[in-house]
Amino acid sequence: MSTPAEDDLLLERQLCFALTVASRSVVGIYKPVLERMGLTHPQYLVMLALWERSPRSLKDISDALLHEPATLSPILRRLEEAGLLTRERVPGNERALAVTLTDAGAALREQATAVPGTIMERLGLSREEVADLHAAMTGLIAATQRPAPVHAAQPG
């Protein structure tokens, strides 16, 4: 007998709740797999970016991963300590940081090729189901990046 607005506050109905649980749960599935490679999940995403192109600047990686530079700084430091990459200043632009894969970092890609298949099998999802979920997430991300409706303007 509660009003619709009150029903909207049920925990089990919150998209944000389902989303954060799904995110943590899926990352949790990766954990034992990535542990064998000595990587955390955020570190794995950085390595994926570098396996596509190296060297890259921190800013470039930050844009690719949609992460704050302040978040990536310590992650890159740990990956450097693990011997997977080097951090030097870009010649000709001393502001930018040149993040470069080491031989060990590049070689780790071999082991990584097995990861997506392992996860898909662990989740019991087909390639198509994964693609559908990916598309749904991409659409949701796009929704967050659209400008807010005018009559719901930001404070200030």
Partner DNA sequence: CACTAATTATTAGTACACTAACAATTAGTG
Partner DNA sequence: CACTAATTGTTAGTGTACTAATAATTAGTG
Does 92 engage in binding with DNA (CB under 7 A)? yes
Does 62 engage in binding with DNA (CB under 7 A)? yes
C-beta separation of 87 from 50 below 8 A: no
The DSSP symbol for 135 reads H
Q: Is 68 helix (H, G, I), strand (E, B) or coil?
A: coil
Instruction: Compute the distance between CA of residue 31 and CA of residue 146 in angstroms, rounded to an integer.
Output: 32
User: CA nearest 83: which of 42, 38, 33, 40?
Assistant: 38
Judged by CB under 8 A, the chain residues 101 through 120 that form the site for a copy of itself are: 109, 112-119
- Residues contributing to the site for DNA (CB under 7 A): 20, 24, 28, 40-43, 57-60, 62, 67-78, 87, 90, 92-97
- Residues contributing to the site for a copy of itself (CB under 8 A): 5-6, 8-11, 13-30, 32, 41, 45, 48-49, 51-52, 64-66, 109, 112-119, 121-125, 130, 132-134, 136-138, 140-141, 143-146, 148-149, 152, 154-155
